[in-house]
Amino acid sequence: MAIVNAVERGNMIYVYDENNRQLCCIPRGVGPHDGLKGYTSTTVSVRRGAYIYNFDQMGRQKGAVPAA
């Protein structure tokens, strides 16, 4: 299952596959700079506070790096 779309709605980020099925939803955070930063076919990047978190297509956290 590849990620083909990620959409931020309200306080959640919804991730979809090639058949437009929802794979997972990820909380976006509450800060003014928080939210979806980008996605690839295998990961979704979300800023929460001072960090950018990377998630796989099932919503499992794979890592975090300080936000610039």
Please determine, for residue 49, whether its predicted confidence score (pLDDT) is greater than 90.
yes
Helix, strand or coil, per DSSP, at residue 42: coil
CB 20 within 8 A of CB 47: no
How would residue 68 be classed by pLDDT, with cut points 50, 70 and 90? confident
One-letter amino acid for residue 25 of the chain: C
Q: Give the model's pLDDT for residue 1.
A: 79
Structural tokens at position 51: 């960090």
Structural tokens at position 45: 């990047």
Structural tokens at position 33: 């700079």
Domain spans of the chain? 5-66
User: pTM for this one?
Assistant: 0.92
The fold for domain 5-66 equals Thrombin, subunit H (2.40.10)
Please determine, for residue 30, whether its predicted confidence score (pLDDT) is greater than 90.
yes
